[in-house]
Amino acid sequence: MKNKKVLIVVTNFSGNESIKETGVWLEEFAVPYLVFRDTGYELTTASPLGGLSPVDEGSMSCSNPEEWDECIKILRNTTLLSEVNYRDYDAIFLPGGHGPMFDLANDLLLKEIVEYFYNSDKIVCAVCHGPAGLVLAEDKNGVSILKDKKVTCFTNKEEHIVKRDEAVPFLLETKIRDLGAKFEEASPWSEHVCSDGNLITGQNPQSALLLAEKVTKRLS
Protein backbone atom coordinates (compact mmCIF):
# COMPACT_ATOMS: atom_id res chain seq x y z
CA MET A 1 0.00 0.00 0.00
CA LYS A 2 1.43 3.38 -0.97
CA ASN A 3 1.81 6.08 1.64
CA LYS A 4 -0.96 8.64 1.80
CA LYS A 5 0.09 12.11 0.66
CA VAL A 6 -1.02 15.37 2.24
CA LEU A 7 -0.56 18.78 0.64
CA ILE A 8 -0.21 21.58 3.20
CA VAL A 9 -0.74 25.10 1.85
CA VAL A 10 0.53 28.01 3.94
CA THR A 11 0.57 31.80 3.68
CA ASN A 12 3.37 34.08 2.44
CA PHE A 13 1.83 37.19 4.01
CA SER A 14 3.86 38.84 6.77
CA GLY A 15 2.05 42.11 7.42
CA ASN A 16 1.00 45.57 6.19
CA GLU A 17 -0.21 48.90 7.59
CA SER A 18 -3.31 47.44 9.22
CA ILE A 19 -1.68 44.32 10.67
CA LYS A 20 1.96 44.99 11.43
CA GLU A 21 3.25 41.43 11.80
CA THR A 22 1.55 38.12 11.09
CA GLY A 23 1.95 34.90 9.10
CA VAL A 24 1.18 31.28 9.96
CA TRP A 25 0.31 30.40 13.57
CA LEU A 26 3.02 27.88 14.43
CA GLU A 27 0.91 25.49 16.56
CA GLU A 28 -1.66 25.13 13.77
CA PHE A 29 1.06 24.03 11.35
CA ALA A 30 3.37 22.09 13.67
CA VAL A 31 0.84 19.96 15.55
CA PRO A 32 -0.90 18.50 12.45
CA TYR A 33 2.41 18.30 10.54
CA LEU A 34 3.97 16.12 13.23
CA VAL A 35 0.85 13.93 13.55
CA PHE A 36 0.81 13.41 9.78
CA ARG A 37 4.56 12.76 9.63
CA ASP A 38 4.46 10.28 12.51
CA THR A 39 1.54 8.47 10.84
CA GLY A 40 3.83 7.90 7.84
CA TYR A 41 2.26 10.29 5.33
CA GLU A 42 4.27 11.94 2.58
CA LEU A 43 4.02 15.70 3.14
CA THR A 44 4.55 18.69 0.88
CA THR A 45 4.39 22.19 2.32
CA ALA A 46 3.63 24.75 -0.41
CA SER A 47 2.71 28.42 -0.64
CA PRO A 48 1.58 30.75 -3.46
CA LEU A 49 5.02 32.37 -3.78
CA GLY A 50 7.19 29.52 -2.51
CA GLY A 51 10.08 30.18 -0.15
CA LEU A 52 9.41 31.76 3.24
CA SER A 53 6.11 31.29 5.03
CA PRO A 54 6.52 33.74 7.94
CA VAL A 55 5.70 32.50 11.44
CA ASP A 56 3.58 34.86 13.55
CA GLU A 57 5.82 36.06 16.39
CA GLY A 58 2.85 35.70 18.75
CA SER A 59 3.00 31.94 18.29
CA MET A 60 6.72 31.69 19.14
CA SER A 61 7.43 30.82 22.76
CA CYS A 62 10.29 29.22 24.68
CA SER A 63 7.68 26.82 26.08
CA ASN A 64 6.95 25.43 22.58
CA PRO A 65 8.02 21.78 22.14
CA GLU A 66 11.54 21.42 20.74
CA GLU A 67 10.29 19.37 17.79
CA TRP A 68 8.43 22.43 16.51
CA ASP A 69 11.85 23.88 15.57
CA GLU A 70 11.97 21.44 12.65
CA CYS A 71 8.61 22.81 11.49
CA ILE A 72 9.96 26.37 11.51
CA LYS A 73 12.75 25.21 9.17
CA ILE A 74 10.19 23.68 6.79
CA LEU A 75 8.27 26.97 6.71
CA ARG A 76 11.44 28.85 5.69
CA ASN A 77 11.60 27.01 2.38
CA THR A 78 8.17 26.04 1.04
CA THR A 79 7.49 24.66 -2.43
CA LEU A 80 5.96 26.94 -5.06
CA LEU A 81 2.29 25.94 -5.22
CA SER A 82 2.14 26.15 -9.02
CA GLU A 83 4.87 23.48 -9.24
CA VAL A 84 2.94 20.92 -7.16
CA ASN A 85 1.21 18.05 -8.96
CA TYR A 86 -1.73 18.35 -6.59
CA ARG A 87 -3.74 15.51 -8.16
CA ASP A 88 -1.26 13.07 -6.61
CA TYR A 89 -2.40 13.94 -3.07
CA ASP A 90 -5.07 12.41 -0.83
CA ALA A 91 -5.83 15.47 1.32
CA ILE A 92 -5.23 19.21 1.45
CA PHE A 93 -4.67 21.06 4.73
CA LEU A 94 -4.69 24.83 5.34
CA PRO A 95 -3.27 26.02 8.69
CA GLY A 96 -4.25 29.42 10.05
CA GLY A 97 -2.68 32.52 11.46
CA HIS A 98 -3.98 35.84 10.14
CA GLY A 99 -1.83 35.58 7.00
CA PRO A 100 -4.29 33.44 4.96
CA MET A 101 -6.90 36.22 5.24
CA PHE A 102 -4.68 38.38 3.03
CA ASP A 103 -3.38 35.95 0.40
CA LEU A 104 -4.98 32.48 0.46
CA ALA A 105 -8.48 34.02 0.54
CA ASN A 106 -7.90 35.56 -2.92
CA ASP A 107 -5.70 32.93 -4.57
CA LEU A 108 -7.26 31.59 -7.78
CA LEU A 109 -4.86 28.65 -8.12
CA LEU A 110 -5.73 27.58 -4.57
CA LYS A 111 -9.42 27.90 -5.48
CA GLU A 112 -8.85 25.49 -8.39
CA ILE A 113 -6.92 23.06 -6.18
CA VAL A 114 -9.49 23.07 -3.35
CA GLU A 115 -12.26 22.50 -5.91
CA TYR A 116 -10.35 19.51 -7.30
CA PHE A 117 -10.01 17.92 -3.84
CA TYR A 118 -13.59 18.67 -2.85
CA ASN A 119 -15.17 17.50 -6.10
CA SER A 120 -12.97 14.36 -6.15
CA ASP A 121 -14.22 13.50 -2.64
CA LYS A 122 -10.72 13.89 -1.21
CA ILE A 123 -10.25 15.44 2.24
CA VAL A 124 -10.29 19.23 2.51
CA CYS A 125 -9.29 20.41 5.99
CA ALA A 126 -8.43 23.77 7.52
CA VAL A 127 -8.03 25.27 10.99
CA CYS A 128 -8.60 28.73 12.53
CA HIS A 129 -8.07 31.27 9.69
CA GLY A 130 -7.15 28.48 7.25
CA PRO A 131 -10.77 28.26 6.01
CA ALA A 132 -10.16 31.69 4.40
CA GLY A 133 -8.57 29.61 1.64
CA LEU A 134 -11.90 27.83 1.05
CA VAL A 135 -14.19 30.82 0.54
CA LEU A 136 -13.77 31.04 -3.26
CA ALA A 137 -14.17 27.31 -3.92
CA GLU A 138 -17.32 25.96 -5.60
CA ASP A 139 -18.76 22.53 -6.20
CA LYS A 140 -19.56 21.09 -9.64
CA ASN A 141 -22.78 23.13 -9.73
CA GLY A 142 -21.04 26.45 -9.10
CA VAL A 143 -22.26 26.62 -5.48
CA SER A 144 -19.92 27.39 -2.56
CA ILE A 145 -18.46 24.20 -1.10
CA LEU A 146 -19.38 25.63 2.32
CA LYS A 147 -23.10 26.02 1.62
CA ASP A 148 -25.27 23.91 3.94
CA LYS A 149 -22.13 22.36 5.46
CA LYS A 150 -21.22 22.28 9.15
CA VAL A 151 -18.17 24.55 9.28
CA THR A 152 -16.17 26.35 11.94
CA CYS A 153 -13.24 28.80 12.00
CA PHE A 154 -11.73 31.48 14.26
CA THR A 155 -14.88 33.18 15.47
CA ASN A 156 -15.88 36.85 15.45
CA LYS A 157 -15.77 36.73 19.27
CA GLU A 158 -12.20 35.42 19.23
CA GLU A 159 -11.24 38.04 16.62
CA HIS A 160 -12.67 40.76 18.85
CA ILE A 161 -10.83 39.45 21.92
CA VAL A 162 -7.47 39.56 20.11
CA LYS A 163 -8.38 43.07 18.82
CA ARG A 164 -7.81 42.15 15.18
CA ASP A 165 -11.42 42.57 14.01
CA GLU A 166 -10.62 46.03 12.56
CA ALA A 167 -7.32 44.90 11.01
CA VAL A 168 -8.49 41.95 8.89
CA PRO A 169 -9.95 42.51 5.39
CA PHE A 170 -13.16 40.72 6.44
CA LEU A 171 -14.50 38.70 9.36
CA LEU A 172 -14.11 35.05 8.45
CA GLU A 173 -17.08 33.79 10.47
CA THR A 174 -19.33 36.39 8.83
CA LYS A 175 -18.07 35.46 5.36
CA ILE A 176 -18.63 31.75 5.97
CA ARG A 177 -22.15 32.40 7.26
CA ASP A 178 -22.84 34.60 4.21
CA LEU A 179 -21.84 31.68 1.96
CA GLY A 180 -24.65 29.64 3.53
CA ALA A 181 -22.69 27.40 5.88
CA LYS A 182 -24.22 25.94 9.03
CA PHE A 183 -21.65 27.72 11.18
CA GLU A 184 -20.79 26.13 14.51
CA GLU A 185 -18.81 27.69 17.32
CA ALA A 186 -17.69 26.70 20.78
CA SER A 187 -16.68 29.18 23.48
CA PRO A 188 -13.46 31.09 22.70
CA TRP A 189 -10.29 28.99 22.77
CA SER A 190 -12.03 25.70 23.39
CA GLU A 191 -11.33 22.68 21.17
CA HIS A 192 -13.92 22.41 18.41
CA VAL A 193 -13.83 20.56 15.08
CA CYS A 194 -16.61 20.12 12.49
CA SER A 195 -16.70 17.18 10.07
CA ASP A 196 -19.18 17.23 7.20
CA GLY A 197 -18.58 14.87 4.29
CA ASN A 198 -14.99 15.35 3.15
CA LEU A 199 -14.77 18.80 4.77
CA ILE A 200 -13.06 19.03 8.19
CA THR A 201 -12.58 22.41 9.92
CA GLY A 202 -11.21 23.48 13.32
CA GLN A 203 -12.00 26.64 15.25
CA ASN A 204 -8.67 27.76 16.72
CA PRO A 205 -5.13 26.64 17.67
CA GLN A 206 -6.57 24.47 20.44
CA SER A 207 -8.41 22.45 17.77
CA ALA A 208 -5.34 21.57 15.67
CA LEU A 209 -4.64 18.20 17.31
CA LEU A 210 -8.23 16.95 17.16
CA LEU A 211 -8.46 18.04 13.52
CA ALA A 212 -5.28 16.11 12.67
CA GLU A 213 -6.59 13.02 14.46
CA LYS A 214 -9.88 13.17 12.55
CA VAL A 215 -7.99 13.45 9.26
CA THR A 216 -5.75 10.45 10.02
CA LYS A 217 -8.81 8.41 11.00
CA ARG A 218 -10.48 9.28 7.68
CA LEU A 219 -7.36 8.46 5.66
CA SER A 220 -6.71 5.12 7.39
Give the tens place of pLDDT for each residue, 10-23: 999 999 999 999 99
Mean pLDDT of 167-194: 98
- Cβ-proximal residues to 178 (8 Å cutoff; 6+ apart), any chain: none
Whether residue 1 is predicted with pLDDT greater than 60 in this model: the reply is no
Grouping H, G, I as helix, E, B as strand and the rest as coil, residue 194 is: strand
- Cβ-proximal residues to 163 (8 Å cutoff; 6+ apart), any chain: none
Residue 58 has phi, psi (to 5 degrees) of -65, -20
Whether residue 174 is predicted with pLDDT greater than 90 in this model: the reply is yes
Grouping H, G, I as helix, E, B as strand and the rest as coil, residue 37 is: helix
Give the count of domains, the chain.
1
CATH code assigned at 210: 3.40.50.880
Give the tens place of pLDDT for each residue, 75-87: 999 999 999 999 9
Beta strands 193-196 and 199-202 are antiparallel
Give the tens place of pLDDT for each residue, 202-216: 999 999 999 999 999
Mean pLDDT of 98-116: 98
CA 148 – CA 78 distance, rounded (Å)? 34
- Residue-averaged pLDDT of the chain: 97
Residue span of the structural domain in which 197 resides: 5-219
